[in-house]
Amino acid sequence: MRPAQYSDDDLEQHSLRRRVSDDGQRSGFEHDVDRILYSTQWRALAGKSQVVASGELGAYHTRLTHSMKVAQLGRRMAERLQRRYGGPNPALVEAACMAHDIGHPPFGHAGETAMRATMDELRGRDSQLDSFEGNAQTFRVVTYLAAHKYPGHRGLHLTRACLDAATKYPWERAPLAENPARHVKWGVYDADLAAFAWVRNGRADTDVPVEEQLMDWADDVTYACHDVEDFYRTGHIPLASLFPPPGAAGGDTEREVRRFLDYVQGKRSRAGEPFDRDAAQGLLTEIGKRLTVPAPYSGSHDDAVAVNRRTSDLIDYFTRGITLDIGGSAPIRYGARLVIPAERRAACDLLKELVWAYVIDRPALATQQHGKRRIVGELLRWTHESPELLPPERADELAEHGDVLRAAADHVASLTEDQAVALHRRLSGTGLGSVNDNVGL
């Protein structure tokens, strides 16, 4: 099928306000991929958590390796759909996937929670809506904080279609009483509304392009499959008890399944969400057809091969059945909708809960999370109180926009975890380090 054509508006570059010239070497969306790849913010993701701290012993995924796999999976799904339908563009989906986590702070969910809580407190009751959110920070990074090669122009100059596809929550933060969900998850700060309006180009906040839908599904599948793989290897998730071979289920399986479903049911109940226990049991059975695990991970070559085969089978299960519902003139942008079989989306959501049940909400990680939140919250507070601590680039931006707290948040969010720990030790006086240490100052 002949690939669908994107419009000049789709290919227009932010800030430069021109379409990148196609010289036969790279398309506009391939330019997007390359600009993200060569940015310092992309490299910094190697020092940021996916689930556990980036310096943790063991071959855990970092935010960078997670983003790389999201991009690979997003591109492969787009290639498959383009062969069948003529779109969407694989390079565009790849770029959106690469960018989707680029604004996340050190220490993952714990760092984001601490940034938001501290900003809410420091902003005060009257300005509490302007806070911190990792997805809104992503938009700020690619449109304002990152640097490319054109003096006088901020950001990476990504195309409108790329920025749109990378925007997971296309709305501002809402008051808690008005919309609790949009009070917790949103995609743009007040300071970046002009760039956001240019990207959205009049679209309603309920509209999302098909490229964003692919990015979102690639993110969910990668999170579910690779994070479960990580923590099975290290003995945290008892897959052998949850998904034993046919005929091998015993008391351990019954107890472990009950324990896991009790956890999910309690979590959904606290969130006010319905939970069908029988349906969840059926989903576990379906997942088990591709995740049969005879024993805990031993570290042998045969076990490593088996883990990779099971992960591949799961990814295949989650991605093979996708289709496009085409409602426009072309299977791109707002002319198509990604269709994911409902049972596969529900199975993916349930699989992600394994990481929360056995890892994130474990007491051992909870104590670490407390320390991570303290590091990030105190760094933000101290930098806000003493803006002379800002590095030159953030100080220049402060002179431009005048918002000390936003500049402090931009600084702390940009740190790798090693930098955050070292900077916290230095500022607290518990470890002064060396004058030559690169701790983000």
Tokens describing residue 77: 């799904």
Residue range 287-328, pLDDT digits in tens: 998 888 888 899 899 999 998 999 999 999 999 999 999 998
Asked if pLDDT for residue 438 goes beyond 90, the answer is no
Helix axes 90-99, 63-85, angle to 10 degrees: 160
pLDDT recorded at residue 300: 93
The whole-angstrom separation of Cα 68 and Cα 163 is 18
Q: What is the mean pLDDT of residues 29-42?
A: 96
Query: Is the pTM higher than 0.85?
Result: yes
The stretches of 335-416 forming alpha helices (DSSP H) are 342-355, 363-385, 392-401, 404-414
The 3-class SS string of 129-185 reads: CCCCCHHHHHHHHHHHHCCCCCCCCCCCCCEHHHHHHCCCCCCCCCCCCCCHHHHHC
* Measured distance CA(341)–CA(135) in Å, rounded: 26
**Residue 54 reports pLDDT greater than 60:** no
- pLDDT score, position 127: 62
Q: Which residues pair with 325 in a beta bridge?
A: 337
Q: Looking at residue 406, what is its pLDDT?
A: 97
Residue 204 clears pLDDT 70, i.e. is over it: yes
- Name the token pair of 291: 């995740």
**Spatial CA neighbour of 143 closest among 410, 441, 376:** 410
Q: What count of other Cβ atoms lies within 10 Å of the Cβ of residue 284?
A: 18
Residue 2 vs residue 16, higher pLDDT: 16
CA-to-CA dists, residue 132 to 156, 338, 371, 376, angstroms:
21, 29, 19, 12
Residue 52 confidence (pLDDT): 63
Give the integer Cα–Cα distance in Å for 210 and 200. 14
Counting residues of the chain whose pLDDT is more than 90, the rounded percentage is 74
Q: Which of 41, 217, 74, 222 is nearest to 140 (CA)?
A: 41
pLDDT band at residue 246 using 50, 70 and 90 as cut-offs: confident
User: Helix 342-355 and helix 277-288: axis angle, to 10°?
Assistant: 90
Confidence of residue 28 (pLDDT cuts 50, 70, 90): very high
User: How confident is the model over 93-134, as pLDDT tens digits?
Assistant: 999 999 999 999 999 989 999 999 999 999 885 566 889 999
Q: Tell me, what's the pLDDT at 323?
A: 97
Query: Does the structure show a pLDDT above 80 at 253?
Result: yes
Q: b/e map of 194-208 (b: 16 or more CB within 10 Å)?
A: ebbeebbeeeeeeeb
In this predicted structure, the answer to whether residue 24 has a pLDDT above a threshold of 80 is no
The SS3 assignment for 189 reads: coil
Sign of CA dihedral 46, 48, 50, 55: positive
Q: Which two tokens mark 300?
A: 């042998």
Assess contact for 109 and 352: CB atoms under 8 A: no
- Mean pLDDT score across all residues of the chain: 91
State the pLDDT at residue 411: 98
In angstroms, the CA 92 to CA 272 distance is: 36
How far, in Å, CA of 61 to CA of 228, rounded?
11
Residue 348 scores a pLDDT above 60 = yes
